[in-house]
Amino acid sequence: MEPSTLSLAIESLVKVVFVVGLVMGGVTYMTWVERRVAGIVQDRLGPNRVGPAGLLQPIADGIKFLFKEDVVPPHVYKPLYILAPALSFVPSLVGTAVIPFGDSLHLFGRDIALRVADLNVGILFIFAMSAMGVYGIALAGWSSNNKYSLMGGLRSSAQLISYELAMGLSVVGVLMAAGSLRLNEIVAAQGEFRWNLWYQPLGALVFLVAAFAETNRAPFDLPECESELVAGYHTEYSSMKFAMFMMAEYANMITASALMVTLFFGGWQVPGLARLSLPPLAVSLVQVAAFLLKTGFFLFLYVWVRWTLPRFRFDQLMGLGWKALLPLAVLNIFWTSWAILSGWL
């Protein structure tokens, strides 16, 4: 049966709402997870008063952000100052569109591919969106007309350019193994057991470290390093504009975690699931759940690392990116080429 345009439109709409809802829900509750885990790590409780176990805290925070006074300092360059938070937030949200969160769902007599957009250059699309996200931070730093903001913006653009290289090169091995830029084919090529992690642990490590730097997270959060730069690029921002930078950071974390799972941890694949001979609907749902669980693990790792490791110095950060991660990523490419040529992969 040929699906009609209307049913396709409804299908796309449902998927868009699902993914955006998932990401926004994730962003909201990551703030809670972050604060509770920080509490546990530092041997205190964290926010536990609003609702059961503090679960309504993000909503209270959201309301606070919405109703706070939105201060626009007189010395800022207004057009870019107002545009910057949106420039930072929109790409982080758009990037999630190509992530496959499951294989396909057989429902109402047809197969529904579980991803919003099936671009044949999916991985490059995510890199493109992350490259666009830099402008939000850089322009926020510049338009604030404040030396701390400017330093934050400069650091951010330098850091993102440097680590983008290492990140891009660490992915090349995966692309060679899968022979495709389409994310779903990369997942399918890994199968239930042959995850890229086992064959390219070096690539996975480089990607993981670069992902921390790309999302401006500790120990690489130099752009907002409070001990030197007050709050870096968002020093002059308040209210919902500030919240948008925070939301962009968490949305980027979700994209990076999902990408890590997709590229190296078998995406939605569950080892041994095919042997169980479950009904197709159950298989699809288990796969989606597995994908979300794996992504959740990396999100937890982000928080864990932030409250465990001290911050790098800026020259150390650059040294690590150029002198350690870049050569290691190239080494991974050589290793993968050799493995493919000798018939290992």
Q: Which residues bind another protein (CB under 8 A)?
A: 77, 79-80, 119-121, 124-125, 127-128, 131-132, 134-135, 138-139, 141-143, 150, 153-154, 157-158, 160-161, 164, 181
Q: Which of 12/120 has CB closer to another protein?
A: 120
Minimum CB–partner distance for residue 245 and another protein (Å):
17
Q: Which of 159/295 has CB closer to another protein?
A: 159
Q: Which of 40/161 has CB closer to another protein?
A: 161
Minimum CB–partner distance for residue 144 and another protein (Å):
11
Q: Which of 101/125 has CB closer to another protein?
A: 125
Minimum CB–partner distance for residue 233 and another protein (Å):
11
Q: Which of 185/228 has CB closer to another protein?
A: 185
- Omega of the bond leading into 219 within 30 degrees of 0 (cis): yes
Minimum CB–partner distance for residue 232 and another protein (Å):
14
Q: Which of 56/181 has CB closer to another protein?
A: 181
Q: Which of 79/191 has CB closer to another protein?
A: 79
Output phi, psi for 50, to 5 deg.
-85, 105
Minimum CB–partner distance for residue 140 and another protein (Å):
11
Minimum CB–partner distance for residue 157 and another protein (Å):
5
- d(CA 300, CA 40) in angstroms, rounded, equals 13
Q: Which of 11/185 has CB closer to another protein?
A: 185
Minimum CB–partner distance for residue 77 and another protein (Å):
7
Task: Give a three-class secondary structure readout of the chain.
Answer: CCCCHHHHHHHHHHHHHHHHHHHHHHHHHHHHHHHHHHHHHCCCCCCCCCCHHHCCHHHHHHHHHHHCCCCCCCCCCHHHHHHHHHHHHHHHHHHHHHCCCCCEEEECCEEEECCCCCCCCHHHHHHHHHHHHHHHHHHHHHHCCCHHHHHHHHHHHHHHHHHHHHHHHHHHHHHHHHCCCCHHHHHHHHCCCCCHHHHCHHHHHHHHHHHHHHCCCCCCCHHHCHHHHCCHHHCCCCHHHHHHHHHHHHHHHHHHHHHHHHHHCCCCCCCCCHHHCCCHHHHHHHHHHHHHHHHHHHHHHHHHHHCCCCCCCHHHHHHHHHHHHHHHHHHHHHHHHHHHHCCCC
Minimum CB–partner distance for residue 154 and another protein (Å):
6
Q: Which of 175/285 has CB closer to another protein?
A: 175
Q: Which residues pair with 107 in a beta bridge?
A: 110
Minimum CB–partner distance for residue 194 and another protein (Å):
23
